[in-house]
Amino acid sequence: MGCHLEEHPHYMLELRVTMKAIDWRLCLVADMEAAGKRDLIVIIQEAAAAGATIIQLRGKNCKTREFLDLAVRIASFLKPKGIPLIVNDRADIALACEADGLHLGQQDIPLFFARKILGQNRLIGISVNTIEEAQTAEKEGADYVGVGPVYFTSSKDKLPTILGLEGLRSVREKVHIPILAIGGLTAENAGAVISAGADGIAVISAIMGEDDISEATKSLLNVLS
């Protein structure tokens, strides 16, 4: 059963602690499966050195202890650099490794309960595919939304409706929190996505699918800056 904000009147949005300023331009979704045989930590280090502004760690099929160990190591590397680490799906691991935030899908733990676990001083983002999902996420206290897929992507088994630029613009018109666009984004189309209202982009293959991680990151940033 879903959790609705109105069921918890003591959850007051005006008491939210103001989040530190976040550079939303370029989020690397560091997917453990997409890394293949390459060292994921090395990929993250190279992307961070080249200017990636957020790292989201994703390990859909990873065992808990392996995921936790990796998250702790990545957090310890990123924290001194001031680059936010967002953990995908796992509120317990985000809390344990002292990550800066948590990213949730529509079928993950409801935002209200994730906030109870993580408190007010960590980011929580929600993946959305419709205006209604985006508005609900904002109403319930999400710090940002991941909107997509904007274009076709092979990173999801069951692809939701492809939004295109018009769909992205429609979401932008209805919500006021930051938007990270995701889905099929490249250096060639990222500029148009920003012009359509996204605050930044989240990518997997546009960085991890390239041989030169640093150059791929810089190419994206050149369009986003």
Instruction: Please list the active-site residues.
Output: 58, 127, 156
d(CA 139, CA 142): 7
Cα 83 from chain centre: 13
Indicate the residue type of 177: I
Assess contact for 179 and 127: CB atoms under 8 A: no
The C-alpha angle 55, 139, 172, rounded to 5 degrees, equals 65
> What are the residues facing 145 on neighbouring strands?
126, 179
8-state DSSP, 177: S
8-state DSSP, 163: -
